[in-house]
């Protein structure tokens, strides 16, 4: 039987995980909570239960966990303590930092593995904190965990900046949703007159913070200048938008909710402006940190991929060199396609969506821009959309181009080579990357 490269990689991965969690280890499965967490202690060798406890999700709770683990390890003659936890939101990061400061090992069990294991365990879907903590410990003992670690050096700060940027964008989206609800309440005539209004056009209108009465009282040319500032489009397009929106505003009939809605409208617009300003500051800091990571040389290599987008992609993926294959980045984003094949039947499915949604969104937006401005990515997009067998819809083709971008960034980062169009198009085989 031939030992394939995939089999060797799997064996090496299991060996690395066994070194992180030896057979004589004391495993503490932690079901993280916002204020309080449940812990179940087991022996890694036979998974027998040794004790339970509750702890606060902070530094004092970690110290209490260590003292309890020392007592159990001494009583049952066990080796080092390894804490297993589910990466729930951001709650695991303070615990992981405290464990790293104390020299205690930790592993992360993916949420999907926990939810699937819950159904396989006793064939029930019953969920309790104690059961989840024990299940997390069992899965860790079976080496069903990831090798994820907190980023170090500039990557740690980039990770924090990416989280803050995501929070600001979420605030901005919430403000837009509030404005859209107000639009349906006090300005339904606009939606009726402009049924195709959406996307960046709607956002540009809402970002002005102008109520219907203010738009009607404003001269058309001044309103057009405001739209051009937010749309960044040519004069002809802004003139078309001005004619439709300004004319509709004059026909709006006030309702009892108009005064209060106008105030909420302006407040939401101020939140959008503050969020946009914060995002600009965070992007500037990410660009400055990108140079300290050693990947600043990637800037400008792929036409159509802006420096800000590149910095955000790397901040969301972390150091690409920590992955052993280019396909790991699409898996991290959750944009890798599923496959349900059996025998001679091949049935490709949709993307898994089991990854970082923000990374998936940023990669998708970058792909749309690359298809417009880069001939290599545009050719790949056209080939996928117009292929004779199973052509892809445009959204699916953009996802495929986004995966190609992530794989390309991994190759450029790991190999140290510059971007070459002939390699990207498949005309020249690239040099093998040293292990």
Two structure tokens written together for 246 = 């300004």
Can you tell me the distance from the alpha carbon of 397 to that of 368, in angstroms, rounded to the nearest whole number?
10
The closest of 170, 166, 245, 257 to 208, measured between CA atoms, is: 245
Is the pLDDT higher at 111 or at 200? 111
Last residue in a domain, options 115, 141, 167:
141
Q: Based on the fold, state whether residues 272 and 303 are members of the same structural domain.
A: no
Q: Do the domain assignments include residue 88? A: yes
Q: Based on the fold, state whether residues 29 and 135 are members of the same structural domain.
A: yes
Q: Based on the fold, state whether residues 27 and 127 are members of the same structural domain.
A: yes
Within 10 Å of residue 277's Cβ, how many Cβ atoms? 11
Residue 235 has pLDDT above 70, yes or no: no
Q: Based on the fold, state whether residues 209 and 239 are members of the same structural domain.
A: yes
Window from 72-76, 251-255, 293-297 with minimum mean pLDDT: 251-255
Last residue in a domain, options 252, 280, 308:
280
Q: Based on the fold, state whether residues 164 and 219 are members of the same structural domain.
A: yes
Q: Do the domain assignments include residue 135? A: yes
Q: Do the domain assignments include residue 307? A: yes
Burial of 389 (0-12, 13-18, 19+ CB in 10 A): exposed
Inter-CA distances, 434 with 297, 349, 413, 419, Å: 20, 33, 13, 18
Q: What is the mean pLDDT of residues 160-182?
A: 84
Within 10 Å of residue 31's Cβ, how many Cβ atoms? 24
Q: Do the domain assignments include residue 125? A: yes
Give the length of the chain.
Answer: 435
Orientation of helix 307-317 relative to helix 154-186, angle to 10°: 110
Q: Based on the fold, state whether residues 36 and 112 are members of the same structural domain.
A: yes
Q: Based on the fold, state whether residues 268 and 301 are members of the same structural domain.
A: no
Q: What is the mean pLDDT of residues 279-302?
A: 92
Tell me the pLDDT tens digit for each residue of 327-344: 989 999 999 888 777 667
Is the pLDDT higher at 415 or at 427? 415
Domain count across the chain: 3
137, 45 contact by CB (below 8 A)? no
Q: Do the domain assignments include residue 218? A: yes
Q: Based on the fold, state whether residues 32 and 113 are members of the same structural domain.
A: yes
- The rounded percent of the chain whose pLDDT value lies above 70 is 84
Inter-CA distances, 338 with 260, 334, 348, 350, 398, Å: 49, 10, 6, 6, 16
Domain of 126: which CATH number?
A: 3.30.420.40
What does the CA dihedral 402, 408, 331, 371 come to, rounded to 10 degrees?
A: 0
Range of 232's domain? 158-280
Q: Do the domain assignments include residue 209? A: yes
Q: Do the domain assignments include residue 433? A: no
């Amino acid at each position: 039987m031939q030992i394939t490269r995939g089999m060797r990689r799997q064996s090496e991965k299991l060996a690395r995980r066994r070194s992180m969690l030896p057979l004589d280890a004391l495993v503490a499965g932690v079901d993280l909570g916002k204020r309080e967490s449940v812990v179940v202690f087991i022996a890694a060798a036979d998974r027998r239960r040794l004790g339970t406890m509750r702890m606060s999700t902070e530094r004092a709770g970690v110290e209490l966990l260590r003292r309890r683990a020392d007592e159990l390890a001494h009583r049952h003659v066990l080796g080092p303590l390894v804490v297993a936890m589910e990466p729930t939101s951001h709650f695991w990061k303070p615990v992981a930092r405290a464990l790293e400061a104390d020299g205690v090992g930790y592993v992360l069990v993916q949420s999907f593995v926990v939810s699937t294991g819950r159904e396989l365990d006793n064939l029930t879907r019953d969920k309790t904190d104690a059961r989840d903590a024990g299940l997390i410990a069992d899965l860790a003992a079976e080496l069903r965990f990831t090798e994820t670690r907190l980023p170090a050096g500039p990557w740690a700060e980039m990770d924090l900046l990416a989280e803050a940027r995501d929070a600001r964008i979420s605030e901005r989206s919430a403000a837009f949703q509030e404005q859209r609800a107000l639009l349906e309440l006090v300005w339904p005539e606009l939606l009726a007159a402009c049924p195709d209004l959406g996307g960046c056009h709607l956002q540009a209108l809402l970002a002005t913070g102008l109520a219907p009465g203010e738009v009607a009282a404003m001269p058309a040319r001044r309103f057009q200048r405001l739209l051009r500032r937010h749309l960044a489009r040519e004069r002809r397009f802004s003139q078309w938008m001005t004619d439709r929106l300004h004319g509709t505003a004059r026909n709006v009939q006030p309702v009892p909710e108009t005064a209060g809605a106008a105030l909420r409208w302006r407040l939401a617009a101020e939140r959008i402006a503050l969020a946009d300003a914060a995002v600009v500051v965070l992007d500037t800091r990410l660009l400055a940190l990108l140079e300290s990571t050693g990947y600043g040389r990637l800037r400008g290599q792929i036409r159509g991929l802006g420096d800000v987008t590149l910095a955000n992609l790397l901040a969301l993926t972390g150091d690409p060199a920590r992955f052993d294959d280019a396909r790991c980045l699409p898996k991290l984003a959750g944009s890798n396609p599923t496959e349900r094949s059996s025998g001679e039947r091949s049935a490709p499915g949709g993307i898994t969506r089991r990854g970082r949604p923000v990374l998936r969104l940023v990669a998708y937006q970058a792909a749309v821009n690359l298809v417009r401005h880069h001939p290599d990515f545009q050719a790949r997009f056209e080939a996928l959309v117009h292929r004779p067998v199973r052509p892809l819809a445009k959204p699916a083709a953009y996802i495929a181009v986004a995966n190609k971008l992530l794989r390309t960034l991994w190759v450029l980062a790991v190999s140290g080579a510059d971007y070459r169009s002939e390699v990207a198009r498949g005309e020249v085989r690239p040099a093998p990357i040293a292990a």
